[in-house]
Structure 1
Amino acid sequence: MNWISEWALPKIKTLFGGTREVPENLWHKCPACEQMIFHTDLERNLRVCTHCGHHMRIGAKARLDATLDEGWQRIELPKAPADPLKFRDQRRYSERLKDAQAKSGMDDAVLVGHGAVGGQRAVAAAFEFAFMGGSMGVGVGEALVAAARLAVLQDAPLVVFASSGGARMQEGALSLMQMPRTVIATQMVKDAGLPFIVVLTDPTTGGVTASFAMLGDVQVAEPGALIGFAGARVIEQTVREKLPEGFQRAEYLLEHGILDMVVPRGEMKATLARLIRLLRQEPAAA
């Protein structure tokens, strides 16, 4: 019998009122510079590294909280068929959906809210990459169509924060149909004479890039965001050439005319408010 662990330590713990539980994940390591960041500092800085400025991924609700003025409202989205193809790989698609919904608190990979951006009325949609990689299925298509209709109804610009791995393979051809659907949705907004602004975040790839995400009146991106259709390795194997440094990153695309601006997350709200004001030709607030 070890008298230190069996007798002495319990006595000491009782004497000092027991041990306190230390919360986990108090510190986060930056994936870019590998510096440790205290969790409150990271959240206060909108999940941007305080050492090197690397932009980490952020949830859809946190994104809208940081973009829309206080008091914004989330809208109820149309319900999509849960598992239209009864798809199964290693697990049933219906089970994957339930897990993603339980972890995220969302029905699908897009959250839509309406309110104001710096006092300018707006409708905003944000992708949740943690929900099955932000993949675009029928539910995402319904969400973007609903956001476009609400923007037209409220005579407000539409801002979409894209973050996706592309089409959702578990929904097969139905997921591919969302590409033309979302293009038509963006055209509804433009036909109404309203601004459509896309903010490309890390990562934005596949069918999302190949549809609505490249149709904004203004194309904005966050620093270092991966943006493209196919992966770099696939492109290299196809063209049999070494790709340039920084290929498919936001700064490279800005340099080559694909983007209009690259804006740090901390400046995004003010920049969007200014863009909306300019596009709507409204005077600046006093």
Structure 2
Amino acid sequence: MLTQQKVRHLDAAELLAAVLDPGSYRSWDAPVVDPDPGPEYRQELAAARAKTGVDESVLTGEGLIRGRRVAVIVSEFRFLAGSIGLAAAQRIVNAVERATREGLPLLAGPASGGTRMQEGTIAFLSMVKISAAVRAHRQAGLPYLVYLRHPTTGGVMASWGSLGHITAAEPGALLGFLGPRVYEALRGEPFPEGVQRAENLFDQGLIDAVVPPGQLPDVVDRALSIVSAGPHPRVVPPATLSVKPSDAGAWQSIRISRNPRRPDVRQLLAHGARDVLPLNGTGQGEKDPGLQLALARFGHQSCVVIGHTRPRPSRQTAMGPASLREARRGMRLAEELGLPLVTVIDTAGAALSPEAEEGGLAGEIARSLHDLIGLNAPTVSVLLGQGAGGGALALLPADRTIAAQHAWLSPLPPEGASAIVHRSTGCAPAMSEAQGVNVASLHANGLVEHIVDECPDAADEPKAFCRRLGQAIEHELGTLASAGIAELLPRRLAKYRNLGGLLPPVAPRSG
């Protein structure tokens, strides 16, 4: 059971000092204009200002994090429990809009009980305009990062506290929609312990990380280094461009791909990427071990990565519907942040269970295909190992496809195909050859453009193989970076429309 440790939580000024480079903070705050308060509320405001030394429950401004200019919005919980009234809401909106105008990433550090009760419904409605400002900031392609502090509840958690591209939280922080005091008053019993703790939200896939304030600059710097990378040097063409398909048969490649020691997306990120920031879950209360989501850099090329994870002895990782909802979160991040997307395919098949059916697995595969084929971002897919069924197809559509020499792609595992056609699994080797599942066939049919060699098996040289694959990904990302999405989308659609060569090419539009 999670229990809250007795810790001292930083106030707004202390958090700014802990996160920003020394001496870099510059306030954006103008004097507040209070609503017309009654005498009692006027006294509460005066007492809060005397106690805290600040004029409202939020401070806004800018500073440097590892030399990078960042806009900041930080709650002061000691000021009427960090509650948001009209003046505080307008200060937040002004800061978000200024960050958008000036093209700055924005870090928000809420700690609040929610809407200020003394100002009633009109203050409650302010959450709408704050959310609208955050939406405009995100639509401008600018990062919005959130650090949830103890405690964050109510309307703040249900608006600008839950809209981050990336969301971290303070260890042990109480985070949730309903404040425990309100729950107990209404229900006559305490709220179950541990449910609203930061660590439990991480376990449920609601937030990306739990980090103490002192480590927050590292997280922000890594995120912005990937998201806000500048111009890239020209990528040197890798040796893998000359690699040919393996002469191994399809069944031999399938057997090689099933080696439990074969590197998967986790080893690729560890050994093939220059920098990685793992993300966690859908952000909507789901977390599936069948998928890895991360921001990463391959060489100088930044991207969002989504990929199947291989089973571990203690944990099965068949891809369920939650995996694809997490993948679609990655697709949205790529579009909003202006990053290319890399998908890594390595699955023996999607989950086969009543839970997967009731969770809408087929619909999630369809929506993933729908989103990927029209994604407004450059895309690279990587056939890393096994590629069975809809679980593989869901991450496949891309502008360019890289394949390891012994990867494969099939409507079903060959044993399943054999059972359908021959009513026996014994014809699996012959079925794999007949179906053209291996890289040689996929390359000949125009699906795979780039092959990464295995010498002779990726499981025997995992680090070297991952480095080669990382260089191939960097090259493909660099090549796509020179083309605009208006050029890439028609080419992507034509690639899949023309696979198999049975349809006539699309005639160019006249005029």
| 1:137 paired residue among 85, 91, 95 | 85
| 2:13 paired residue among 55, 61, 75 | 61
Taking the aligned partners of 1:238 and 1:133, their CA distance within structure 2 comes to 20
**AA of the residue aligned to 1:74:** R
Q: Higher relative CO (CA 8 A, sep ≥ 6), structure 1 or 2?
A: 1
In structure 2, stretches of 5+ residues that fail to align are 233-274, 276-511
CA drift of 1:219 comes to 1.0
Taking the aligned partners of 2:60 and 2:85, their CA distance within structure 1 comes to 16
SS of the residue corresponding to residue 121 of structure 1 reads strand
- Equivalent residue for 1:220? 168
**AA of the residue aligned to 1:281:** A
CA drift of 1:75 comes to 2.6
Matched residue count: 230
CA drift of 1:239 comes to 8.8
Q: Percent identity?
A: 37
1:77 aligns with 2:25: no
CA drift of 1:209 comes to 0.7
- Equivalent residue for 1:48? none
CA drift of 1:279 comes to 2.1
TM-score normalised by length of structure 2: 0.42
| 2:217 paired residue among 254, 269, 273 | 269
SS of the residue corresponding to residue 198 of structure 1 reads strand
Taking the aligned partners of 2:204 and 2:186, their CA distance within structure 1 comes to 21
- Equivalent residue for 1:162? 110
Taking the aligned partners of 2:76 and 2:86, their CA distance within structure 1 comes to 15
- Equivalent residue for 2:178? 230
- Equivalent residue for 1:93? 41
Taking the aligned partners of 2:164 and 2:104, their CA distance within structure 1 comes to 15
TM-score normalised by length of structure 1: 0.73
**AA of the residue aligned to 2:16:** L
CA deviation map 1:246-282 (0-9, x unaligned): 1100000000011111112221111111112222235
- Equivalent residue for 2:412? none
1:210 aligns with 2:162: no
Taking the aligned partners of 1:93 and 1:246, their CA distance within structure 2 comes to 34
CA deviation map 1:18-46 (0-9, x unaligned): xxxxxxxxxxxxx966xxxxxxxxxxxxx
Identify if the C-alpha distance between structure 1 residues 240 and 170 changes in structure 2 by more than 3 Å, giving closer, same or farther: closer
The answer to whether the Cα contact below 8 Å between 1:120 and 1:277 also exists between their aligned partners in 2 is no
Identify if the C-alpha distance between structure 1 residues 257 and 222 changes in structure 2 by more than 3 Å, giving closer, same or farther: same
| 1:191 paired residue among 139, 143, 159 | 139
Taking the aligned partners of 1:95 and 1:242, their CA distance within structure 2 comes to 32
- Equivalent residue for 2:342? none
The answer to whether the Cα contact below 8 Å between 1:83 and 1:93 also exists between their aligned partners in 2 is no
1:281 aligns with 2:232: no
Identify if the C-alpha distance between structure 1 residues 253 and 230 changes in structure 2 by more than 3 Å, giving closer, same or farther: same
Taking the aligned partners of 1:189 and 1:105, their CA distance within structure 2 comes to 30
Root-mean-square deviation (CA), in Å?
Answer: 2.6
SS of the residue corresponding to residue 227 of structure 1 reads coil
The answer to whether the Cα contact below 8 Å between 2:19 and 2:214 also exists between their aligned partners in 1 is no
**AA of the residue aligned to 1:267:** Q
Taking the aligned partners of 1:162 and 1:192, their CA distance within structure 2 comes to 22
Taking the aligned partners of 1:130 and 1:241, their CA distance within structure 2 comes to 27
CA deviation map 1:196-234 (0-9, x unaligned): 011000000011011111010011101100001113465
The answer to whether the Cα contact below 8 Å between 1:111 and 1:128 also exists between their aligned partners in 2 is yes
The answer to whether the Cα contact below 8 Å between 2:64 and 2:70 also exists between their aligned partners in 1 is yes
SS of the residue corresponding to residue 151 of structure 2 reads strand
CA drift of 1:71 comes to 2.8
CA drift of 1:56 comes to 1.9
**AA of the residue aligned to 1:57:** H
**AA of the residue aligned to 2:23:** G
Taking the aligned partners of 2:142 and 2:32, their CA distance within structure 1 comes to 27
Structure 1 segment 38-53 matched on structure 2, within 5 A? none
Higher gyration radius (CA):
2
SS of the residue corresponding to residue 183 of structure 1 reads helix
